[in-house]
Amino acid sequence: MKKILTLLNVAAISAVLTLNGTGQVSFAKDLLEKGLLDPTTTEMTKAGAHKKSGPWTIGMSFPGLGNTWIVQMVHETKYTAALNPKIKDFIFTEAGWQPAKQVADIEDLIARKVDALIVTPMAPPTVKKQVEAAVAAGIPVITYGSTDGLLPSTVEINLGGKKFGKAGGLWLKEKLNGKGTIWVFRGIAGVTEETLRYEGLLEGLEGSDIVIGAEVFGDWNYTKGKQLCENLVLSGQPVDAIWFSGADMTRACIDVFNDTGKPLVPMTGEGNNGFLRIWTENQLDSVAPIYTPGIGPALVRATVALLEGEQLYKSYYSDPAAISNATRDKFYRKDLNDAFWVTSTLPEDEIQKMFKK
């Protein structure tokens, strides 16, 4: 398996890290492998503006848990933070997908005088006041997700969004020759990332005669996605292809089609090993955007770089080429279980510990 699945094992770390003047290790501007995360602007932070001697306390506010991608991303994030001896405390909070809880979490982290704050806003407007308060208090704020300039982020790191949804929409338009009926499985209602993926789908379908015959919210969850797909299959509604906002739902629907004996139709996926397995075993016609859990470690590395006084670009975006029928075998790991997501920053021994069958 290519090293892209273990981007930052011991050997690869040396390509991303540099030694500063004191001989201590500090992160360079390449927060992940080039092509996996790249700057989207030439604007940079001011050198030394957020420099602070350690040990540091770093806070992270995340919207909520609920699927295997989040589990892996959070583990990779905490694993990366634990490697740095200058990080005394890494405080991770999750809001249970409740906007009011995320507001309270961020206010609590500010009150605890964290040295830096990582925020994944459920919806940017709901945390605008809190992010502004953190910045006013001299706390650098690193945001994950598209904020459209609404938040005064020190650095913004983004992936997925419209480009994720549009990749699937364009692929379906080509597969169906611009006409037919599709089902649409969306994520968690009200979450900005979910909305952006859906808007990207609609952009991808523009200029076609494809109609959306059914639209449901599966919460990026296998169990809920399976129940919704069962309902649609049993209803007898026509379908020529299916667009999914997340691979756990795709995997669930493939299982439903197989269980009911319904012939498979083209379905979009995502870079999840369980999906890659079922894609391979069923010779499904699909495409899978990569939504790397390495975004979590990249957030930590950006935070460390700022606290060490380094300059970073003000914004970064992860947009690697989607996995296709032709490239699928380069990413699928037969030795790992369904919960593994590509591309991972974990060393191989940690991947085996967590995901070996």
Which residue, among 289, 282, 300, has the nearest Cα to 345 in the 3D structure?
Answer: 300
What pLDDT is recorded for position 103? 98
Which residue, among 249, 267, 276, has the nearest Cα to 194 in the 3D structure?
Answer: 249
What pLDDT is recorded for position 54? 86
Which residue, among 158, 168, 184, 202, has the nearest Cα to 302 in the 3D structure?
Answer: 158
What pLDDT is recorded for position 239? 98
Cis check: omega of the bond before 343, within 30 degrees of 0: yes
Residue 147's pLDDT band, with cuts at 50, 70 and 90, is confident
In this structure, of 6-10, 75-79, 235-239, the range with the lowest mean pLDDT score is 6-10
What pLDDT is recorded for position 7? 35
The percentage of residues in the chain with a pLDDT greater than 90, rounded to a whole number, is: 85
Instruction: Decide if 197 contacts 162 (C-beta within 8 A).
Output: yes
Q: Which residue has the tokens 């598209």?
A: 146
Position 300, amino acid = V
User: How do residues 196-238 score in pLDDT, each as one tens digit?
Assistant: 999 999 999 999 999 999 999 999 999 999 999 999 999 999 9
3-160+292-321 classified as CATH 3.30.70.100: no
Q: CB-based contacts of 348: which residues, under 8 Å, 6+ apart?
A: 6, 9
Instruction: Decide if 245 contacts 197 (C-beta within 8 A).
Output: yes
* C-alpha to C-alpha distance for 288 and 307, rounded to whole angstroms: 36
Instruction: Decide if 143 contacts 156 (C-beta within 8 A).
Output: yes
With a cut of 60, say whether residue 2 has pLDDT above it: no
With a cut of 90, say whether residue 1 has pLDDT above it: no
Segment 181-194 mean pLDDT: 94
Segment 329-352 mean pLDDT: 96
Cis check: omega of the bond before 263, within 30 degrees of 0: no
Per the DSSP assignment, residues forming a β-bridge with 109 are none
Identify the residue with better confidence: 277 or 12: 277
What pLDDT is recorded for position 43? 96
Segment 170-193 mean pLDDT: 96
What pLDDT is recorded for position 33? 86
What pLDDT is recorded for position 17? 36
Segment 154-159 mean pLDDT: 95
User: How do residues 40-66 score in pLDDT, each as one tens digit?
Assistant: 999 999 999 999 998 999 999 999 998
* C-alpha to C-alpha distance for 122 and 192, rounded to whole angstroms: 6
Segment 255-264 mean pLDDT: 96
Position 114, amino acid = V
CATH superfamily, domain at 161-282: Response regulator (3.40.50.2300)
Which residue, among 321, 320, 266, has the nearest Cα to 295 in the 3D structure?
Answer: 320
With a cut of 80, say whether residue 13 has pLDDT above it: no
What pLDDT is recorded for position 29? 56
Position 340, amino acid = F
* C-alpha to C-alpha distance for 59 and 114, rounded to whole angstroms: 6
User: How do residues 119-140 score in pLDDT, each as one tens digit?
Assistant: 999 999 999 999 999 999 999 9
What pLDDT is recorded for position 34? 81
In this structure, of 24-28, 61-65, 80-84, the range with the lowest mean pLDDT score is 24-28
In this structure, of 3-7, 160-164, 204-208, the range with the lowest mean pLDDT score is 3-7
Where exactly does CATH 3.40.50.2300 map onto the chain?
3-160+292-321, 161-282
Q: What is the CA angle 62-64-69, rounded to 5?
A: 90
